[in-house]
């Protein structure tokens, strides 16, 4: 089977921002990416649909619908997405970043922030910006300053064994083997891998696997795939088991998520 076509996009701004706070949204085709780059301003990346990924030198972050990725000024990064994605970036000049995190992290998106981002997407600010747009953008920055940090939604590990195991599950999220069975396949033990999950991921293996399956389910839900088919492909014996997990992890059922995206 031929590999999907890959499209490379260039960052919209290079030397300077046209305003202290700039909002931009774009529809990205599947298998698109931005090359490695950095800029003198901060950037908040949020995905309205699909999943945007931000790759750093030693970390891989994901922007899912409940979260966004914060990049402080001067951080080298690569942006990419595997499925078609509608996303936004909020660019913030460096002197306005003093009350935002000084390290790259994932921020929780509150219903108010989500509503503000959606309003800006539907009514993009023009340049020069009106006073009303400037005020809304400033309030949005203030809301992000108060947002809860959650680290990385789907962290990875540089450990040789655990990293290889996690990558295998990313490529085959429907793998139903238990941690003990996977440990044996990767010439380790369940106890050793459990310790390494807590050390490197900050969570149990079971939670990481559920987060992975949420990430894998999101683009398929938005593409209109049937819940039953998604559930079976992700290793669930029934749609109800998948729905219960999805609701526990996101606060919505798959159909509620799909209607919200609509």
> What would the pLDDT profile of 6-21 be if each residue is shown by its tens digit?
688 898 998 899 999 9
To the nearest 10°, report the CA torsion of 228, 229, 232, 236.
-40
Contact at 8 Å (CB) between 193 and 183?
yes
> What would the pLDDT profile of 66-108 be if each residue is shown by its tens digit?
889 999 999 999 998 877 888 999 999 999 999 999 999 999 9
> What would the pLDDT profile of 162-213 be if each residue is shown by its tens digit?
999 999 999 999 999 999 999 999 999 999 999 999 999 999 999 999 999 9
22 forms beta bridges with 91
Angle formed by the axes of helices 160-171 and 190-200, nearest 10° = 90
Both tokens assigned to 102 = 């000084």
Helix ranges restricted to H, the chain:
111-122, 131-145, 160-171, 179-185, 190-200, 205-222, 227-233, 239-250, 254-261
Domains and CATH numbers, the chain: 7-151 (2.60.120.280), 160-261 (1.10.10.60)
Q: Mean pLDDT for the chain?
A: 91
Number of neighbouring beta carbons within 10 Å of residue 237: 10
pTM, rounded to two decimals: 0.75
Burial classification of residue 234, based on how many CB atoms lie within 10 Å of its CB (0-12 exposed, 13-18 middle, 19 or more buried): buried
């Amino acid at each position: 089977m031929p590999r999907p076509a890959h499209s490379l996009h260039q960052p919209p701004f290079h030397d300077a921002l046209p305003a202290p706070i700039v909002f931009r949204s774009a529809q990205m085709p599947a298998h698109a990416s931005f090359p490695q780059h950095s800029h003198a301003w901060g950037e908040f990346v949020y995905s309205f649909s699909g999943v945007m990924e931000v790759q750093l030198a030693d970390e891989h972050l994901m922007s899912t619908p409940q979260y966004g990725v914060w990049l402080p000024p001067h951080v080298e990064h690569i942006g990419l997405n595997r499925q078609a994605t509608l996303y936004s970036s909020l660019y913030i000049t460096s002197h306005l970043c003093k009350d935002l995190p000084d390290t790259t992290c994932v921020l929780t998106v509150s219903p108010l922030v989500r509503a503000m981002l959606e309003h800006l997407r539907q009514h993009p600010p023009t340049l020069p910006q009106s006073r009303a747009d400037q005020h809304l953008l400033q309030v949005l920055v203030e809301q992000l300053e108060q947002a809860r940090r959650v680290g990385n939604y789907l962290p990875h590990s540089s450990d040789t064994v655990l990293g290889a195991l996690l990558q295998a599950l990313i490529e085959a999220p429907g793998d139903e083997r238990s941690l003990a069975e996977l440990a044996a396949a990767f010439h380790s033990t369940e106890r050793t891998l459990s310790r390494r999950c807590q050390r490197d991921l900050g969570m149990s293996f079971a939670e990481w696997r559920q987060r992975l399956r949420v990430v894998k389910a999101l683009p398929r839900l938005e593409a209109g795939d049937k819940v039953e088919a998604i559930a079976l492909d992700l290793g669930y014996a029934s749609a109800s088991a998948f729905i219960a997990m999805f609701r526990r992890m996101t606060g919505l059922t798959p159909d509620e998520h799909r209607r919200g995206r609509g």
